[in-house]
Chains A and B, each alone.
Chain A
Amino acid sequence: MRMKIFRWKAIGPLFLFLTIIAVLVVIFAEPVARDTTEEASTELLGTQVDVAKLDLRPRQSSVDLRGLQIADPFSLKRNLLEADQIRLKLNPQALAEKKLVIERLSLNGMRFGTARKTPARPVSGDGFAPKTLQSVRQWTEQFDVPLLSLTPIDTIRQLALDPTQLTTIREAQALVARTDSTRKALDQGFQQLAIRETLDSANGLVQRLSASDPKKLGLDGTRKAIESVRQTLRELDAAKKRLEGLERSTRTGVQLLSRGTQLLDRARQKDFAFAKSLLKLPSFSAPDIGSAFFGKVSIERFKEALYWAELAQKYMPPGLLPRPTPGPQRLRAAGHTVEFPKENEFPRFLLEQGLLGFTIGGTSAVQGAYSATVRGLTSTPTLYGRPTLITASRRAAASGIAAIDVDAVIDHVGTRTRDSASARLRGIELPSFAIPGLPFRVEPGRGSSSLDFSMKGGGAQLFGRWGVSSRRVNWAVDTTGRSMNDIERLVWRVVSGLSDLEVVAELSGSVSSPKLSVSSNLDKAIAQRLQAVMGEEVAKAERLVRAKVDSLVSDKVEPVKRQIAAVQAEASQRVQVEKQRLDQVEQQLQSELKRLTGGLVPGIELPEIKL
Chain B
Amino acid sequence: MLALLKLIQSIIKTLHSDGTPGQVAAGIAIGSVLGLTPLMNLHNLVVFSLVVVLNVSFGGAMLGWAMFVPAGFLLDPVFHAVGVELLQAPSLRPLWTTWTNTPLIPYTSFNNTVVLGSFVGWIVLAVPIFFAARYGVARYRATVGERVRRSRLYKAVTASQAYNWYRMFRPS
- Which chain A residues have a beta carbon within 8 Å of chain B's beta carbons? 3-7, 9-11, 13-14, 17-18, 21, 93, 96-99, 322, 324, 327-328, 330-342, 345-346
Contacts and interface: CB of A to CB of B under 8 A. Distances in A.
Contact of B76 (A5, A14, A322, A333): A333
B113 A338 contact: yes
B111 A339 contact: yes
Contacts of B172: 4, 7
A332 B54 contact: no
Overall SS of chain B's interface: helix
B107 A98 contact: yes
Contact of A330 (B38, B83, B99, B103): B38
B129 interface: no
B40 A6 contact: no
Given A3-B55, A7-B52, A327-B112, A335 B83 contact: yes
Given A3-B55, A6-B55, A96 B104 contact: yes
Contact of B53 (A3, A7, A331, A336): A7
Given A7-B55, A322-B87, A330-B40, A97 B101 contact: yes
Given A97-B103, A335-B117, A338-B96, 20 more contacts: A5-B55, A6-B55, A7-B171, A17-B52, A18-B49, A97-B106, A99-B106, A322-B88, A328-B112, A335-B83, A335-B113, A336-B83, A336-B87, A337-B109, A338-B111, A338-B113, A339-B111, A340-B93, A341-B97, A342-B100
From B73, B80, B99, B106, residue with most partner A Cβ within 10 Å: B106
A531 B53 CA distance: 93
A4 B56 CA distance: 10
B103 A333 contact: no
Contact of B100 (A5, A93, A97): A97
A164 B114 CA distance: 57
* Most chain A beta-carbon neighbours within 10 Å: one of B76, B98, B111: B111
B61 to A, nearest CB: 12
Contacts of A328: 112
A6 B77 contact: no
A476 to B, nearest CB: 57
10 contacts: A5-B55, A13-B168, A322-B87, A327-B113, A330-B38, A333-B76, A333-B80, A336-B83, A338-B87, A340-B93
Contacts of A346: 101
B64 interface: no
A32 to B, nearest CB: 11
A6 B109 contact: no
Interface string B49-78: 100111100000000000000001100110
B112 A336 contact: yes
B120 interface: no
B143 interface: no
Given A7-B171, A11-B53, A342-B101, A332 B114 contact: yes
Contact of B113 (A7, A14, A336): A336
A333 B87 contact: no
Interface of B: 38, 40, 45, 49, 52-55, 72-73, 76-77, 79-80, 83-84, 87-88, 93, 96-104, 106-107, 109, 111-115, 117, 168-169, 171-172
Nearest to B102: A97
A341 to B, nearest CB: 8
A345 B98 CA distance: 10
B37 to A, nearest CB: 9
A413 to B, nearest CB: 20
Contacts of B80: 333, 335-336
Contacts of A6: 53-55
Most buried by B among A6, A18, A327, A338: A338
Contact of A5 (B54, B93, B109): B54
Contacts of A96: 103-104
A7 to B, nearest CB: 5
Nearest to B37: A332
Q: Which 10 interchain pairs have the tightest Cβ spacing?
A: A335-B114, A98-B106, A96-B103, A333-B76, A335-B113, A340-B97, A340-B100, A345-B101, A14-B52, A338-B87
A341 B93 CA distance: 11
Given A96-B104, A335-B112, A335-B113, A342 B55 contact: no
Contacts of A334: 114
Contacts of A13: 52, 168-169
Chain A CB within 10 A, most for which of B79, B104, B113? B113
A462 to B, nearest CB: 33
Most B CB atoms within 10 A — which of A6, A10, A335, A336?
A335
Contacts of A324: 87, 113
Given A4-B172, A97-B101, A10 B53 contact: yes
B20 to A, nearest CB: 8
Given A4-B172, A9-B168, A327-B114, A332 B104 contact: no
Nearest to B38: A332
Contacts of A93: 103
A379 to B, nearest CB: 13
A336 B84 contact: yes
A545 to B, nearest CB: 61
B54 A339 contact: no
A340 B111 contact: yes
Nearest to B114: A335
A4 B23 CA distance: 11
Query: Which of A99, A324, A341 counts the most chain B CB atoms within 10 A?
Result: A324
Contacts of A97: 100-103, 106
Contacts of B83: 335-336
B72 to A, nearest CB: 7
A337 B111 contact: yes
A2 to B, nearest CB: 11
Contacts of A4: 55, 172
B52 A10 contact: yes
A332 B73 CA distance: 6
Contacts of B107: 98
A332 B72 contact: yes
Contacts of A341: 97
A346 B101 CA distance: 8
A407 B76 CA distance: 47
Contacts of B115: 335
Nearest to A330: B38
A322 B96 contact: yes
A309 to B, nearest CB: 28
A337 B96 CA distance: 12
B76 to A, nearest CB: 4
Nearest to B169: A10
A332 B54 CA distance: 28
